[in-house]
C-alpha cells in the first residue's frame, strides 16, 4: 500500500514547510511515525525532529490524539480510517544536509521533512509537491531525480519512490534554475544550478559528460542508473557535497564555474570538477557498495563502522585520478593535488594519535565535531584514506608485476557487494584485496588502517618514477603541491593557526609542543603584538620571515579581555610541505609503471582518448 506525502510552502518568510503524510490503513495499535536522527553520507546526529514546530493528526476531518514517545517518534490513537498527520517544519539550513526555504528557493532533503511510518518502510511512497501561488514563485522549476508520476519535466505535481529509503535519497531544489542536460554512457544526465550564475553551460556539460563517461566506463553502469542529476547551489563562497543514488547536492562558489572563453581548467574550476567527480564516484562507492551497518540502519542512532576510510578515502583517491584519466586535468595538476593531500596529512599531529579505522568509528563525535584540538587529535579518513588507497594501488602494481591494481579490487568489490546489494562486512574490503591480488596484506592494513605510523609513500612513488620532495613552507598557509617559489621559505615555525574574523585575528588551533603552546598561547586568544609590533593574520608571514630558530621575543595576546604578556621562542620550521615530480632518471620499469598508473584504463581507455581528441579538434 502506498504511503502518501505532500509538501507545500506554509510561510516562506517564516521558513516553514507544511508536510503531510497520509496512511490509508493505519496500524490497529496506533500508527507510529518518526523523524530520522541523521542523513546518510553525513555521520553526525542532527535530530531533524528538532525542526518540527507543530504537529497534529486527523481522520475524516476529526482530530486524532498524538502521543510523543521519544525525541523523534509519535504515536497516533488507533483509528480505522485513513490517518493524515500534518507538521510544520522549520527550514533554515542551507547546507547539503539540510532544508532551506525563502522567497528565492525551496531546497530540502527528505530526512529533514518526511517522517517515516514505522512498519511501512518498504512500501512505495508518493509525493505531491505543491506550487506556491505567491508571485515570487512564478518562475520556479523543480529539480530532483525522483521519478515523476503526474508532473511535467521540472514541474510541480506528483512524484514516486519505491520505498521510504528511496524517498529520502532524492533531494529537491525548487526555484529559478539554470539547467543543462547531457548524455553519458547512454544515461540522461542534468545539472540544475541555483544562484546568479554566468557559467558557460555548454563547456560545463561537455566536461561533466567526459567525466561521467570515464567513470561509467570504469566500474560499469549500475543496472538501476537510468538518470542522474547534479543539484548545484552556487553562492559567493562555500563548499560541500552529499552523494545520493541518482543525484548529488553540491555547493561551490560561483567563481569555480567555467566562464565563457575560458581556456584550460584553472584551479577554481578544477575544484568544482573534483567535487563533482567525488560525489559521482559515490554512486558506486557507498551508495551501492556500502557497509553492512548502513544497509540495516533505521537512522535512529549512530551506525558505527571502521570503513569510512574505504568509502571516503578511496573515493577521494579516485576523484582526482579520474579527472586525470578523463583528460580534464594534466599529470602536473594531478601531482599538485596529491602533493597537497600529503601536505595536509603530514601537518596534523593527529595522524600519530588516531588511526583511520578509529577516525571512521568515532566520526560521530570527533571528525564531525571538530574543536580547537582537532588537528592534534584527529586524522582525516578522507585525506589519509586517500593516501592509503594510493599506497595500496602502487603496492599492488609493484608486487604483482602490474597484474593487479586497486582498479581490480574495486571491480571485485562492485561485483560482490555493489551489484548484489549485500552490505560489506567490516573486513570485507581487506579480504577482497587479498583475494584479488593473492598477496598477504594483513601487515599492510594493520599498519596503515589500524596503525598510526608513517605511510611508505616515498618508496612506492619512487618505484613508479615519481619523486616525493619535501620543503619548508613559504607562508603559514602554504598548501603544498608545488616546488617553492622565488621567496625564501620561512626559517621558523609558529605552531599555531591564526585566522582573521571580524577585524580581529585569533589563534584558532595551537599545535601540541609547538612554540605557541610552549609560550602559553591558547585557542581563542586574540593576537595583539609580537616584539612590540601589531600581529595579525595578514602580517604574520612578514613578521616571521626574518626570524631565525632560537629567537625569543615578547608576544602579547588578549584572552577574553585580559592582556597576557608572553615570551615565545621560535623553533626551526619543519619540512612538512610535499610536492611531487616525475623522475626523469628513473628506470624503464618504474617509468612503465608510472604510465600504467596514470594513464591506463581497464576498459575503454582508447575510446575515451579518441573521443577526447575528436572533441579537441572539433
Ligand atoms: Zn564523500
CA of 275 to the centre of ligand 1 (A): 9
**What's the mean per-residue pLDDT of the chain?**
95
Residue among 221, 185, 274, 259 nearest 611 (CA): 185
CA of 442 to the centre of ligand 1 (A): 26
The answer to whether residue 422 scores a pLDDT higher than 60 is yes
Strand partners, 557: 527, 564
Whether 178 and 199 have beta carbons less than 8 Å apart is answered as yes
The answer to whether residue 597 scores a pLDDT higher than 80 is yes
Q: How confident is the model at residue 613 (pLDDT cuts 50, 70, 90)?
A: very low
Whether 12 and 103 have beta carbons less than 8 Å apart is answered as yes
For the ranges 77-81, 260-264, 434-438, 459-463, the lowest mean pLDDT is seen at 260-264
Q: Give the three cell numbers for residue 556.
A: 602579547
Rounded-to-integer distance, Cα 417 and Cα 219, Å: 13
Q: What is the mean pLDDT of residues 236-243?
A: 95
pLDDT at 615: 36
pLDDT at 60: 94
The answer to whether residue 609 scores a pLDDT higher than 70 is no
The answer to whether residue 176 scores a pLDDT higher than 70 is yes
CA of 269 to the centre of ligand 1 (A): 19
Residue among 534, 538, 580 nearest 555 (CA): 534
The answer to whether residue 479 scores a pLDDT higher than 90 is yes
CA of 279 to the centre of ligand 1 (A): 6
For the ranges 194-198, 255-259, 436-440, the lowest mean pLDDT is seen at 194-198
pLDDT at 502: 84
CA of 239 to the centre of ligand 1 (A): 12
CA of 386 to the centre of ligand 1 (A): 11
CA of 242 to the centre of ligand 1 (A): 7
The answer to whether residue 603 scores a pLDDT higher than 70 is no
pLDDT at 608: 41
Q: How confident is the model at residue 237 (pLDDT cuts 50, 70, 90)?
A: very high
267-323 confidence digits (pLDDT tens) = 999 999 999 999 999 999 999 999 999 988 999 999 999 999 999 999 999 999 999
Which class for 27: exposed (0-12), middle (13-18), buried (19 or more C-beta within 10 A)?
middle
93 or 610, which is more confident: 93
At a CB cut-off of 8 Å and minimum separation 6, what does 376 contact? 348, 349, 350, 353, 509, 511, 512
Q: What is the mean pLDDT of residues 537-550?
A: 96
pLDDT at 612: 38
At a CB cut-off of 8 Å and minimum separation 6, what does 298 contact? 116, 121
CA of 130 to the centre of ligand 1 (A): 32
CA of 381 to the centre of ligand 1 (A): 10
Residue among 551, 376, 379 nearest 454 (CA): 379
CA of 282 to the centre of ligand 1 (A): 7
The answer to whether residue 606 scores a pLDDT higher than 60 is no
CB half-sphere exposure, 38, CA atoms < 13 A: 18
pLDDT at 599: 76
110-161 confidence digits (pLDDT tens) = 999 999 999 999 999 999 999 999 999 999 999 999 999 999 999 999 999 9
Residue among 454, 484, 450, 447 nearest 339 (CA): 484
The Cα-based distances of 498 to 126, 279, 451 in angstroms read 51, 31, 31
CA of 107 to the centre of ligand 1 (A): 20
Q: What is the mean pLDDT of residues 484-498?
A: 92
CA of 385 to the centre of ligand 1 (A): 11
Residue among 242, 279, 300 nearest 94 (CA): 242
Q: How confident is the model at residue 611 (pLDDT cuts 50, 70, 90)?
A: very low
pLDDT at 195: 84
170 or 264, which is more confident: 170
For the ranges 99-113, 506-520, 591-605, the lowest mean pLDDT is seen at 591-605
pLDDT at 601: 39
pTM comes to: 0.95
Q: What is the DSSP string of 366-390?
A: TTTS--TTHHHH---TTHHHHHHHH
37-77 confidence digits (pLDDT tens) = 999 999 999 999 999 999 999 999 999 999 999 999 999 99
CA of 159 to the centre of ligand 1 (A): 27
Q: How confident is the model at residue 610 (pLDDT cuts 50, 70, 90)?
A: very low
Amino acid at each position: 500500500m502506498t504511503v502518501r506525502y505532500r509538501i507545500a510552502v506554509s510561510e516562506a518568510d517564516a521558513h516553514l514547510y507544511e508536510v503531510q503524510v497520509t496512511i490509508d490503513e493505519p496500524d490497529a495499535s496506533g500508527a507510529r511515525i518518526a523523524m530520522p536522527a541523521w542523513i546518510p553520507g553525513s555521520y553526525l546526529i542532527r535530530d531533524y525532529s528538532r525542526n518540527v514546530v507543530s504537529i497534529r493528526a486527523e481522520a475524516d476531518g476529526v482530530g486524532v490524539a498524538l502521543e510523543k514517545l521519544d525525541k523523534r517518534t509519535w504515536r497516533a490513537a488507533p483509528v480505522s480510517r485513513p490517518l493524515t498527520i500534518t507538521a510544520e517544519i522549520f527550514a533554515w539550513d542551507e547546507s547539503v544536509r539540510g532544508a532551506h526555504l525563502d522567497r528565492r528557493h525551496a531546497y530540502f532533503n527528505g530526512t529533514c521533512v518526511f517522517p517515516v511510518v514505522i512498519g511501512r518502510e518498504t512500501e512505495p511512497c508518493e509525493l505531491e509537491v505543491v506550487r506556491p501561488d505567491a508571485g515570487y514563485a512564478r518562475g520556479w522549476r523543480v529539480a530532483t531525480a525522483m521519478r515523476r508520476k503526474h508532473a511535467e519535466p521540472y514541474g510541480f505535481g506528483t512524484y514516486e519512490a519505491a520505498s521510504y529509503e528511496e524517498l529520502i535519497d532524492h533531494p529537491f531544489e525548487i526555484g529559478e534554475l539554470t539547467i543543462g542536460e547531457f548524455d553519458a554512457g547512454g544515461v540522461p544526465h542534468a545539472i540544475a544550478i541555483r544562484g546568479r550564475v554566468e557559467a558557460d553551460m555548454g563547456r560545463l556539460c561537455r566536461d561533466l559528460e567526459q567525466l561521467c563517461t570515464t567513470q561509467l566506463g570504469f566500474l560499469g553502469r549500475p543496472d538501476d542508473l537510468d538518470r542522474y542529476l547534479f543539484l548545484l547551489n552556487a553562492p559567493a563562497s562555500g563548499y560541500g557535497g552529499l552523494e545520493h543514488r541518482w543525484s548529488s547536492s553540491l555547493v561551490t562558489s560561483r567563481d569555480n564555474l567555467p566562464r565563457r572563453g575560458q581556456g584550460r581548467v584553472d584551479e577554481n574550476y578544477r575544484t568544482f570538477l573534483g567535487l563533482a567527480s567525488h560525489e559521482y564516484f559515490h554512486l558506486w562507492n557507498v551508495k551501492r557498495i556500502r557497509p553492512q551497518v548502513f544497509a540495516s540502519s533505521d537512522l535512529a542512532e549512530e551506525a558505527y563502522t571502521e570503513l569510512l576510510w574505504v568509502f571516503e578515502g578511496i573515493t577521494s583517491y579516485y576523484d582526482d585520478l579520474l579527472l586525470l584519466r578523463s583528460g580534464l586535468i594534466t599529470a602536473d595538476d594531478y601531482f599538485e593535488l596529491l602533493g597537497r593531500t600529503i601536505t595536509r596529512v603530514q601537518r596534523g599531529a593527529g595522524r600519530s594519535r588516531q588511526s583511520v579505522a578509529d577516525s571512521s568509528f568515532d566520526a560521530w563525535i570527533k571528525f564531525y565535531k571538530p574543536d580547537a584540538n582537532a588537528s592534534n587529535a584527529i586524522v582525516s579518513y578522507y585525506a589519509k584514506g586517500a593516501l592509503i588507497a594510493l599506497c595500496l594501488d602502487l603496492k599492488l602494481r609493484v608486487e604483482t608485476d602490474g597484474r593487479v591494481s586497486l582498479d581490480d579490487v574495486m571491480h571485485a568489490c562492485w561485483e560482490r557487494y555493489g551489484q548484489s546489494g549485500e552490505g560489506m562486512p567490516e573486513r570485507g574490503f581487506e579480504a577482497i584485496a587479498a583475494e584479488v591480488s593473492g598477496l598477504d596484506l594483513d601487515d599492510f592494513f594493520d599498519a596503515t588502517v589500524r596503525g598510526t605510523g608513517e605511510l611508505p609513500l616515498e618508496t612506492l612513488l619512487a618505484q613508479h618514477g615519481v619523486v616525493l620532495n619535501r620543503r619548508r613552507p613559504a607562508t603559514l598557509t602554504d598548501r603544498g603541491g608545488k616546488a617553492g617559489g622565488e621567496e625564501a621559505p620561512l626559517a621558523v615555525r609558529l605552531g599555531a593557526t591564526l585566522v582573521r574574523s571580524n577585524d580581529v585575528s585569533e589563534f584558532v588551533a595551537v599545535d601540541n609542543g609547538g612554540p605557541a603552546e610552549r609560550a602559553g598561547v591558547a585557542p581563542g586568544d586574540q593576537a595583539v603584538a609580537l616584539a612590540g609590533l601589531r600581529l595579525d593574520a595578514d602580517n604574520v608571514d612578514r613578521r616571521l620571515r626574518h626570524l631565525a630558530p632560537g629567537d625569543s621575543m615578547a608576544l602579547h595576546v588578549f584572552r577574553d579581555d585580559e592582556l597576557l604578556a608572553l615570551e615565545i621562542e621560535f623553533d626551526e620550521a619543519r619540512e612538512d610541505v610535499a610536492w611531487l615530480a616525475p623522475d626523469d632518471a628513473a628506470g624503464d620499469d618504474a617509468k612503465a609503471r608510472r604510465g600504467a598508473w596514470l594513464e591506463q584504463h581497464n576498459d575503454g581507455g582508447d575510446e575515451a582518448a579518441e573521443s577526447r581528441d575528436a572533441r579537441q579538434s572539433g
